[in-house]
Amino acid sequence: MQTTLLAGKKVRDEHLSLLEASGQLDRSLDRLGCYSEVYFNLGAADEVRYSGRQLIEQLPRHCRHEETSLLNRVSDVSPELTEFCRQMKAEHVALLERLADLRAALEDFDKAEDLCEAVTHLKQEGKELTHYLRCHVAREEEELSGFL
């Protein structure tokens, strides 16, 4: 049980880091804009790239770590937790798919001919990912509170 609690604390710390990067991405996306094909906020674009890269680096590692160090152990506690852990693993797959969509939108943004369209697409993909990530973490934090 002690090992599970230590793993839970690390997962909790990772959640906080992911939520911070997610919040930064959201704030940067909110500042990103385009008028008449003229890109007007280079600082926001750099921030979007930076916070997007943070999530691209951190999220896959976090999902693997959480599954091996916490979810696999917690799933043995009860049938309800077994089902919850299965759902969280499925959400990890969905999160990583959304992350791939963000990565593609960032790549498209950097080589876009239609900058306004690229900004719109990047904002859509980024906002979808951050919303899903916040909801996912909230569910885990609530259901696994005794282990985090």
Q: How far lies 13's CA from each of 25, 61, 92, 119, 136, in Å?
A: 19, 13, 17, 31, 15
Query: Which has the closest alpha carbon to 30: 16, 17, 15, 43?
Result: 43
Residue 3's Cβ-count burial label (10 Å; 0-12, 13-18, 19+) is exposed
- Set out the domains of the chain in order of their start, with CATH numbers: 2-143 (1.20.120)
Instruction: State how far Cα 57 lies from the chain centre.
Output: 10
Q: What is the pLDDT along the chain (148 residues), one digit of tens a residue?
A: 667 778 888 999 999 999 999 999 999 999 888 765 555 666 788 999 999 999 999 999 999 999 999 999 999 999 999 999 999 999 999 999 999 999 999 999 989 888 888 889 999 999 999 999 999 999 999 999 988 8
Query: Which has the closest alpha carbon to 70: 130, 3, 139?
Result: 3
Predicted TM-score (pTM) of this structure:
0.90
